[in-house]
Homo-oligomer: A and B are copies of this chain.
């Protein structure tokens, strides 16, 4: 199915019947108060495209996420996205911004739900990994793609907020006030270490590169358990200075 592109894109979902007769009758299309119905000509195509993109991403993976596939999914012509996002980079960037917002919300809500200090310390990294596992496509868009335009305000802001939350969490854990302006080497190292560790763990996990380790661990050890062990035993075994 879908041999020729013209065929595929001509047979799209039920939109206007393409003006079957040339009479300008226009019979009751757009029933005077349609809002989240099928967006006809106006409507919120931009939003619809972003949602379609997310759907395509979850369904077909990162390689299936193309401008034309998104347009197909939304039931519009293949050039429609260009008008709203300018570029494939534009669409990916806006979608990544959506992802960062989801990501931040997930971590924040997980932190809020924590009660004990230990839970509070583990909540954020666990939510980090959990989000990535639940939405590997989104995580890939956010952290794997090279084609992102951080000069777009929405993406810049969402990503920045993600970093700020992390930095604050580290600061709170060290019971220091992280001034937004400057950092000591140790403060910077603490932030970069935490971020690197969780990010690296997530990428290795998503890429299946930890399967080898997980398989050698005691029967039934889950990735989450391994993450806990990583976070709870902070001694890396580095030798002291001679």
Q: Which residues of A contact B (CB under 8 A)?
A: 61-63, 116-118, 121, 140, 143-144, 146-147, 163, 170, 173-174, 181-186, 188-201, 203-204, 207, 209-210, 212-214, 216-218, 221, 225-226, 229-239, 241-242
A143 to chain B, nearest CB (A): 7
Residue of chain B at shortest CB distance from A199: B200
Copies in the complex: 2
| A234 cross-chain contacts in B, Cβ below 8 A | 234-238
A72 to chain B, nearest CB (A): 22
**Interface pair B192/A199, CB less than 8 Å apart:** no
Residue of chain B at shortest CB distance from A63: B146
**Interface pair A213/B199, CB less than 8 Å apart:** no
Residue of chain B at shortest CB distance from A228: B189
Query: Given known contacts A146-B63, A170-B237, is B189 in contact with A230 (CB within 8 Å)?
Result: yes
Bound complex: CA of A144 vs CA of B209, how far in Å? 12
| A217 cross-chain contacts in B, Cβ below 8 A | 182-185, 188
A168 to chain B, nearest CB (A): 13
Residue of chain B at shortest CB distance from A167: B213
Bound complex: CA of A118 vs CA of B216, how far in Å? 29
Residue of chain B at shortest CB distance from A122: B238
Most buried by B among A62, A147, A183, A198: A183
**Interface pair B188/A195, CB less than 8 Å apart:** no
Query: Given known contacts A183-B216, A242-B117, is B188 in contact with A229 (CB within 8 Å)?
Result: yes
Most buried by B among A181, A221, A239: A239
